[in-house]
Structure formats: C-alpha cells, structure tokens
Amino acid sequence: MSMSDPIADMLTRVRNALLREHEEVRMPFSKFKLGIAKVLLQEGFISAYTEETASVGSTLVITLKYEKSGRSVIRKLKRVSKPGLRVFKGIDDIQPVLNGQGIYVVSTSKGVMSDAACGRERVGGEIICSIC
C-alpha cells in the first residue's frame, strides 16, 4: 500500500509511541526520515536511532527519551509543510518556536537540519515540522 505522506506517518508513530510511553518506535526506513532522526538526536529530543536491515526492507528504530519524572522530552510534534500546502521560508523569515524552547526541522539544499543550524549556514528551505 502506498502512503501519501510518509513524514506525517513518521511523526504520528512517534507521537503515538510517546503517548503509550514506549521505549522505541519502528517505521519504514528512508533517507529523509533518517535525516529527521539525526536532527532530533542532535537537538536532544531522542536517545538514539538505528537502521535494521531485513530481506524485504529496512526499518528505522528510534529510541525515545524521557525525563526522570517519566514525562517525555518531546511535548508537541506538528507537521508544518504538507503535500497539499508546502511551506518554504528564507533564513530571515524563520521565527523561533516558543521563544527558542522548540525547533523547526528544515529541508534545505544542504540537507535536513534544525532552524538553528539553518541560521549558522545561512540557508532557508521547506519547514518540515515543529518540535517542542
């Protein structure tokens, strides 16, 4: 079965796993999802990610991160740019998420990166999702 928005599926899987307090979440692998997972790891929203290879296809496994109180580090996960309405922003147009408490994941010509990394590299792009 083909999926019209695999990134929204990834975010929904992570959101559902957080609600059920799972330790890890599995999803079909893609390089774009791997890029998002790298940004989440660099920004401290997840503990780890791995790629499991099988005979049929690969799987991306994301290990979720929780505070000592048991509350998840990720409070809110929202898809911004959708297949029906793409959202592109220049570097000067990207505003902080919750006054700097969250991040945007941005797809740029230099790869998938956070909004802070976009500021350092001076590139804009498609706003994939917001995380806080």
Percent of residues, the chain, with pLDDT higher than 70: 98
Rounded average pLDDT over 68-74 = 93
**Domain edges within the chain:** 6-131
Asked whether the predicted pLDDT for residue 1 surpasses 70, the reply is no
CA distance 125 to 117: 12
Please compute the mean of the pLDDT values over residues 87-102 and round it to a whole number. Answer: 90
25-53 confidence digits (pLDDT tens)? 999 999 999 999 999 999 999 999 999 99
pLDDT at 54: 85
Helices marked H in 22-114: 31-42
Q: For 6-131, which CATH class?
A: alpha beta
Assign 2 a pLDDT band (cuts: 50, 70, 90). low
Give the whole-number percent of the chain exceeding pLDDT 90: 87
DSSP letter string, the chain: ---S-HHHHHHHHHHHHHHTT-SEEEEE--HHHHHHHHHHHHTTSEEEEEEEE-SS-EEEEEEE-B-TTS-BS---EEE-SBTTB--EE-GGG-PPBGGGTBEEEEEETTEEEEHHHHHHHT--EEEEEEE-
Q: Is the pLDDT of residue 115 over 90?
A: yes
- Average the pLDDT over 14-34 and give the result: 96
pLDDT at 107 over 80: yes
Mean pLDDT, all residues of the chain: 94
